């Protein structure tokens, strides 16, 4: 919060401050001594930023990094929220990310840096004479320096019906919310505009279940970035996915019914139903404010190389500006602009020289890259390569021995390399022949080693497109002590957004630190360079729905994984897409495939479920009968209060289960990475010390949680009083009843390394126990690594992390518990009964049987 | 030379990426594997480590991971891979017109129980 100021302050000192920060007048720092004479603490300059978006906030970050004491910062934002990564709105729309995941500057950032954020209150005018801005609410804010970062406004084509309800643009979170609301009702969507934005909107809406038509004016999709061939491949792929793509479609009218859109009619008469129309035909720099304040504006707000406008006290940055005649609509130029701006504002002027941009389409499963100019023209020569089987199309354009453009479809691995060559303008005559085959080839094979390929990139080659981080910056970060992937991500943000540059960052770590990198998160297994966390995140982000797809998209180095990654992937997919993902039996450990525990002699043990450890004569009789009928050599009472029948052959399992099912018993999942048992004591029903009905509660907990798949086995216990006869404090989730309610404990473990639980919280009612239990399990299911018990998980992430995940937000428990219960609706079918009914029968039966005697006879 | 090869059934009986068992009365049980790439292999169903039933392991590429202690066994050679040492007998196998055949002499020949 900025301290209140005397009303005349701005007037008194304004001029002097403005002069002082003028980037090109460096000799004027004398007045600062003048201030010291006042014998007051140096008063900071007031920097007001209009636009709480990507450029505005990045500029402030850059300034803070150079000189955090220089300015008192106030940021006005029209949107009622903190700054987020706008480019990630597409994954939010597609359901691959939540808003929380795309926040760039959280509330803490503003507080920690003493920045006043005025959100949801757009600035309506700038008074340059008094150096103040006025917001819609009437708030007046004086400035010494003003930064305009108002981004751009979506362009609305002036056709009849453009103001109907249901016509939306795609620019901010509110637009996404409108689309999501429409998508909930299903129906049809028409997207006008087949550029980057339009196609990402179409992809999202189509994933959300809408029938989508894209109407594009030009004959080729994304014609500014793609040539005809790539545009065609893209169109075909989108059509294959069920979208209708109309190229050469000129919108005549948006047709309404009762003030609500109902269709889009083209000039050629074709009409498409629409419950929502997304207008994504282009953007216009947001110049209204600047124009009415009398600042020089052409297409955008005109700035010099230091991002200063025609008024020396006013800077501008981002999509709203025009620099050397160019306006940009992508983030990469913003990073360079912001750096130059901060340098100038902090009196180390460097200067921005314009950007060459490249484009990637964020539609999962489609790899598309384009950079530079490929319109052909004099002296330009095309080199093209196609590989129809792999759906690959590559084209590079060479002019005067320099690379001037590149379009890649289907295989974009060399995108960064081409882009680097292009920006550098390097002479490529030496590698011309091999250019199209990519970096590995062109560099004579030596670069087949990915590290060497990265080493060959220049220092200002862009590594992370999402956050604008160059190779030099990553190396600097590593040299400054960030020696793991996580550390790099949290320090310079490289690979922290979409993760597609993770491999590059890892190579840089390896190159910079030599062999000693692996202090970072371990990779899942030798088949991949991704860690468990990466894989889980990417499954969501890229909407990966099957094991082969995950392996393809995440560049698995083996054809079908190994015995570590297959079960892990199977679990992660199962957890991510409950009810949709079809369990892959081949990726299950034998116990989970056969729903019984394999023993050292290859026979199996069978543990029927006994809810809360309770049983009755009927169950006991059925167990006794099974033991006799199948000649089971041993029956054992387990530590989890169950009976374990040993020595059953895989062929006999279905028959054993049929008999147990008949007595009302289901699988006890003693074999699974799943809920094992809920152990209880007799509690207040019988015990003279009991405070609550621990047995009844245990049964309820087991009814709620049985059948769920987890990262590892999961054990619960409920003790009726702190004497703790059910040993609840060495379970994954333990309940200890007390007079006033229930203590909930987590992360306990028996086994090799005994660990007592941590106290999670105390609650008053059984209903709360159930909710917290469900929520805790879901948090564990969603966050732990496969084969990580709750104890090591909690030791890795910390109890506070778990508590924060559950309790920081008042709704978290409810939301997590709801997700758990939803997923349970697909899990609580007894797997034994399914097998008894004949499912997967070949897992239990032999292929055939060979009787050698008859063979020999036959052979003779 | 009729009958050098023993017909053990149609390839459809084995899902790619899994194995099925073929007991041989008086001899060691055989595990018949079909990989994801549709290669077929037959091995004695006993891990060289402690006789784990290889047919129940996870199959990846042309390797099976034993369900008992995770040894990796090459389906091609029957050899334990990596640091582990040991070898399980393989049975020559061929696939013709959708049927699977084992070399008869190997089924009963090598390992009298
Ligand atoms: C859906 C989508 C996907 C995109 N994908 C990519 C991509 O993949 N790659 C890429 O490079 N680029 C992409 N872009 C473009 C990228 O988001 C922009 O280039 C970038 O956000 C521009 O930053 P900015 O700060 O100039 O504008 P913005 O981020 O739009 O910030 C401007 C802010 O100023 C606020 N504002 C405007 N007027 C006022 C006022 N009078 N008072 C107060 N506040 C005001 C606005 O509400 C807004 O929050 C995408 C854009 C969208 C919408
Ligand atoms: C393949 C290996 C294992 C099998 C098949 C197995 C099986 C079982 C079974 C069937 C039970 C009784 C189950 C129940 O109803 O909960 C049990 C209990 C138990 N197991 Fe294991 N287990 C195995 C490995 C381990 C390991 C490695 C540990 C320790 C790290 C462990 C620790 C325990 C403990 C402490 C109990 C008692 C639990 C209780 O009192 O609730 N087990 N195990
Ligand atoms: S834990 Fe308490 S209530 Fe339960 S049996 Fe033991 S003494 Fe009784
Ligand atoms: S028996 Fe196969 S690994 Fe031990």
Strand runs labelled E in A40-121? 45-50, 71-77, 116-119
Give the E-state strand segments of A453-584 in sequence order.
462-464, 469-470
Residue B90 sits at the vertex; the CA angle it makes with A588 and A851, to the nearest 5 degrees, is 90
Q: Which pLDDT score is estimated for A26? A: 33
CB contact under 8 A, A849 and B22: yes
Lowest mean pLDDT, pick from A20-34, A179-193, A225-239, A582-596: A20-34
Question: How does A348-357 read in b/e, with b if 16+ C-beta sit within 10 Å?
Answer: ebeebeebeb
Domains contained in chain A, CATH given: 45-153+285-345 (3.50.50.60), 156-281 (3.50.50.60), 367-448 (3.30.390.30), 452-583 (1.10.10.1100), 590-672 (3.90.480.10), 675-824 (3.30.413.10)
- Residues A194-213: tens digit of each pLDDT: 998 999 999 999 999 999 99
CB contact under 8 A, B36 and A585: no
- pLDDT at B2 > cutoff 50: no
For position A388, what pLDDT does the model report? 60
Counted residue by residue, chain A has a size of 860
Q: How confident is the model at residue A384 (pLDDT cuts 50, 70, 90)?
A: confident
**A413 or A821, higher pLDDT:** A821
The SS3 call for residue A646 is strand
pLDDT digits (tens, 9 = 90+) for A32-90: 333 444 445 568 899 999 999 999 999 999 999 999 999 999 999 999 999 999 999 99
Per this entry, what is the length of chain B? 113
Which of B19, B43, B47, B74 is the best mutation target for the ligand 4 pocket, counting ligand atoms within 8 Å of the beta carbon and taking the most? B47
**Interval A16-29 mean pLDDT:** 32
- pLDDT, position A420: 87
How close A502 comes to chain B (CA, Å)?
A: 26
Q: How confident is the model at residue A448 (pLDDT cuts 50, 70, 90)?
A: very low
Look at residue B41 and tell me whether its pLDDT is greater than 80.
yes
Instruction: Pick left, alpha or beta for residue A555 (phi over 0 → left; psi -120 to 50 → alpha; otherwise beta).
Output: left
Residue of A348, A301, A356 whose CA lies nearest to A323 = A301
Residue A2 has pLDDT above 60, yes or no: no
A550 vs A128, which has greater pLDDT?
Answer: A128
Q: List CB contacts (< 8 A) between B70 and chain A.
A: 563
Indicate whether this complex's ipTM tops 0.85. no
How far apart CA A395 and CA A436 sit, in angstroms, is 7
**Does the residue B113 lie in any domain?**
no
Residues A750-765, mean pLDDT to the nearest whole number: 92
d(CA A694, CA A737): 7
CA distances from A636 to A147, A595, A627, A640, B52 (A): 75, 18, 11, 11, 23
Is the CB of residue A612 less than 8 Å from the CB of residue A678? yes
Is residue A231's pLDDT more than 70?
yes
**Residue A577 above 90 pLDDT?**
yes
Lining residues, ligand 2, CB within 6 Å: A 597, 607, 638-640, 642, 644, 670, 676-677, 679, 715, 750-752
pLDDT at residue A10 greater than cutoff 60: no
> How much of chain A, in percent, has pLDDT values that exceed 90?
60
Q: Which atom of ligand 2 is nearest to the CA of A749?
A: 35
Q: Whose CA is nearest to atom 27 of ligand 2?
A: A751
A743 has pLDDT over 90: yes
Mean of pLDDT values over A268-274: 94
d(CA A775, CA A312): 56
Provide the domain count of chain B. 1
CA-closest candidate to residue A155, choices A285, A253, A291:
A285
Chain A residues within an 8 Å CB radius of B37: 559
Could you tell me if residue B90 is inside a domain? Answer: yes
Chain A closest-CA separation from residue B83 CA (Å): 16
A846 touches chain B (CB under 8 A): yes
Asked whether the CA dihedral B7, B10, B14, B17 is positive or negative, the reply is positive
Ligand 4 pocket, mutate which of B43, B69, B78, B85 (most atoms under 8 A from CB): B69
pLDDT band at B1 (very low <50, low <70, confident <90, very high): very low
Residue A19 reports pLDDT greater than 50: no
CA distance A90 to chain B (A): 35
Q: What is the pLDDT of residues A273-324, one digit of tens each?
A: 999 999 999 999 999 999 999 999 999 999 999 999 999 999 999 999 999 9
More confident residue, A757 or A840: A757
CB contacts, 8 Å: B12 with chain A: none
Is B36 contained in some domain?
A: yes
Task: Look up the CATH number of the domain holding residue B57.
Answer: 2.102.10.10
Ligand 4 nearest-atom number relative to CA B51: 1
Q: Residue B73: which domain range?
A: 5-107
Mutate to test the pocket of ligand 2, among A601, A638, A702, A792 (most ligand atoms within 8 A of CB): A638
At A8 the pLDDT is: 36
Task: Write out the two tokens for A444.
Answer: 């004579």
Residue A27, token pair as written in the block: 């000799």
The answer to whether residue B87 is domain-embedded is yes
Residue range A414-426: mean pLDDT, rounded: 86
Q: What are the residues facing B9 on neighbouring strands? A: B100
* Reported confidence tier of residue A394, pLDDT bands at 50, 70, 90: confident
Position A41 scores a pLDDT of 54
Q: Is residue B65 part of a domain?
A: yes
Is the pTM higher than 0.90? The answer reads: no
How far B17 CA sits from the closest chain A CA (Å)? 6
End-to-end CA distance of chain B: give it in Å, rounded.
Answer: 27
Residues of A with Cβ-Cβ distance to B21 under 8 angstroms:
846-847
The DSSP code for A278 is: E
Average pLDDT (A711-716) is: 96
- Please tell me if residue A558 touches chain B, with a CB cutoff of 8 Å: yes
Q: How far apart are the first and last CA of chain A?
A: 98
Residue B112 located in a structural domain: no
Provide the angle, in degrees to the nearest 10, between the axes of the packed helices A485-492 and A502-513: 110
Q: How far apart are CA A297 and CA A323, in angstroms?
A: 11
């Amino acid at each position: 919060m900025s301290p209140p100021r005397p009303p005349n302050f701005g007037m008194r000192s304004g001029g002097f401050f403005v002069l002082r920060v003028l980037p090109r007048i460096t000799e004027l720092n004398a007045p600062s001594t003048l201030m010291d004479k006042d014998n007051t603490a140096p008063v900071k300059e007031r920097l007001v930023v209009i636009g709480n978006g990507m450029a505005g906030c990045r500029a402030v970050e850059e300034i803070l990094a150079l000189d955090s004491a220089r300015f008192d910062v106030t940021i006005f934002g029209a949107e009622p929220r903190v700054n987020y990564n706008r480019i990630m709105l597409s994954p939010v729309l597609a359901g691959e990310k939540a808003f929380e995941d795309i926040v760039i500057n959280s509330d803490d950032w503003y507080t920690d840096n003493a920045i006043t954020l005025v959100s949801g209150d757009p600035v309506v005018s700038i008074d340059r004479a008094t150096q103040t801005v006025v917001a819609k609410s009437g708030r007046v804010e004086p400035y010494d320096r003003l930064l305009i970062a108002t981004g751009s406004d979506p362009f609305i084509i002036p056709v009849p019906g453009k103001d109907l309800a249901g016509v939306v643009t795609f620019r901010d979170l509110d637009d996404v919310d409108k689309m999501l609301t429409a998508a909930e009702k299903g129906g049809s969507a028409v997207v006008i505009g087949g550029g980057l934005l339009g196609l990402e909107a179409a992809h999202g809406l189509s994933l959300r279940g809408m029938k989508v038509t894209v109407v594009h004016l030009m004959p080729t999709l994304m014609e500014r970035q793609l040539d005809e061939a790539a545009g065609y491949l893209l169109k075909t792929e989108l059509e294959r996915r069920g979208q209708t793509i109309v190229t050469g479609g000129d919108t005549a009218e948006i047709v309404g019914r009762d003030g609500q859109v109902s269709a889009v009619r083209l000039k050629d008469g074709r009409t498409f139903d629409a419950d929502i129309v997304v207008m994504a035909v282009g953007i216009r720099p947001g110049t209204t404010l600047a124009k009415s304040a009398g600042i020089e504006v052409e297409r955008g707000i005109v700035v010099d190389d230091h991002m200063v406008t025609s008024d020396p006290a006013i800077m501008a940055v981002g999509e709203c500006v025009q620099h050397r005649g160019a306006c940009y609509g992508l983030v990469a130029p913003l990073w360079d602009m912001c750096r130059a701006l901060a340098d100038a504002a902090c009196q180390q002027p460097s200067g921005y020289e314009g950007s060459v941009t490249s484009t990637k389409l964020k539609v999962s499963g489609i790899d598309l890259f384009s950079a530079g100019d490929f319109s052909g023209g004099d002296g330009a020569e095309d080199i093209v390569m196609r590989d129809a089987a792999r759906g690959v199309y590559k084209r590079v354009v060479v002019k005067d021995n320099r690379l001037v453009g590149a379009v890649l479809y289907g295989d974009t691995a060399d995108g960064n390399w081409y882009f680097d060559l292009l920006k550098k303008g390097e002479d490529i005559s030496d590698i011309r022949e091999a250019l199209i085959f990519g970096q590995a080839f062109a560099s004579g094979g030596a670069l087949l080693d990915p590290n060497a390929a990265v080493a060959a990139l220049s220092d200002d080659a862009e590594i992370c497109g999402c956050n604008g981080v160059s190779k030099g910056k990553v190396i600097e970060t590593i040299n400054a002590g960030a020696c793991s992937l996580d550390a790099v991500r949290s320090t310079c943000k490289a690979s922290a957004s979409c993760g597609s540059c993770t491999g590059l960052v890892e190579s840089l770590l390896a190159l910079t630190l030599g062999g000693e990198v692996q202090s970072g998160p371990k990779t899942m297994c030798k088949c991949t360079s991704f860690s468990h966390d990466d894989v889980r995140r990417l499954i969501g982000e890229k909407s990966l729905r099957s094991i082969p797809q995950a392996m393809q998209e995440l560049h698995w180095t083996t054809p079908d994984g190994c015995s570590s990654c297959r079960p892990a992937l199977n679990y992660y997919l199962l957890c991510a897409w409950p009810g949709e993902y079809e369990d892959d039996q081949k990726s299950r450990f034998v116990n989970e495939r056969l729903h019984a525990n394999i023993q050292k002699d290859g026979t199996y043990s069978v543990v029927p479920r006994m809810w809360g450890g309770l049983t009755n004569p009927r169950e006991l009789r059925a167990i006794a009968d099974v033991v006799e009928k199948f000649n089971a050599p041993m029956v054992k009472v387990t530590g989890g209060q169950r009976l374990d029948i040993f020595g059953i052959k895989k062929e006999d399992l279905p028959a054993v289960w049929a008999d147990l099912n008949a007595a009302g018993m289901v699988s006890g999942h003693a074999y699974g990475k799943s809920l094992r048992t809920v152990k209880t004591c007799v509690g207040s029903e019988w015990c003279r010390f009991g405070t609550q009905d621990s047995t009844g509660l245990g049964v309820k907990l087991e009814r709620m949680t049985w059948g769920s798949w987890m990262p590892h086995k999961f054990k619960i216990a409920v003790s009726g009083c702190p004497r703790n006869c059910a040993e609840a404090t060495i379970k994954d989730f333990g309940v200890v009843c007390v007079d006033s309610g229930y203590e909930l404990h987590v992360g306990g473990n028996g086994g090799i390394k005994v660990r007592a639980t941590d106290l999670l919280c105390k609650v008053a009612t059984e209903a709360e126990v159930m909710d917290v239990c469900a929520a805790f399990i879901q948090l564990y299911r969603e966050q732990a690594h496969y084969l990580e018990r709750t104890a090591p998980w909690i030791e890795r992430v910390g109890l506070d992390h778990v508590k924060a995940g559950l309790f920081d937000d008042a709704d978290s428990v409810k939301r997590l518990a709801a997700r758990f219960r939803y997923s349970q609706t697909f899990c609580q079918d007894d797997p034994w009964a399914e097998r008894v009914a004949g499912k997967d029968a070949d897992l239990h039966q032999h292929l055939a049987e060979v009787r050698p005697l008859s063979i020999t006879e036959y052979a003779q | 030379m009729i009958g050098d090869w023993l017909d053990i059934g149609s390839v459809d009986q084995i899902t790619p990426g899994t194995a099925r068992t073929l007991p041989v009365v008086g001899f060691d049980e055989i595990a018949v594997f079909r990989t994801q790439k549709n290669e077929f292999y037959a091995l004695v169903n006993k891990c060289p480590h402690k006789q784990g039933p290889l047919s129940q392991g996870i199959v990846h590429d042309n390797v099976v991971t034993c369900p008992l202690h995770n040894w990796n066994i090459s389906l091609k050679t029957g050899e334990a891979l990596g640091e582990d040492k040991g070898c399980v007998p393989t049975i020559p196998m061929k696939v013709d017109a959708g049927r699977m055949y084992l070399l008869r002499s190997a089924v009963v020949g090598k390992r009298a129980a």
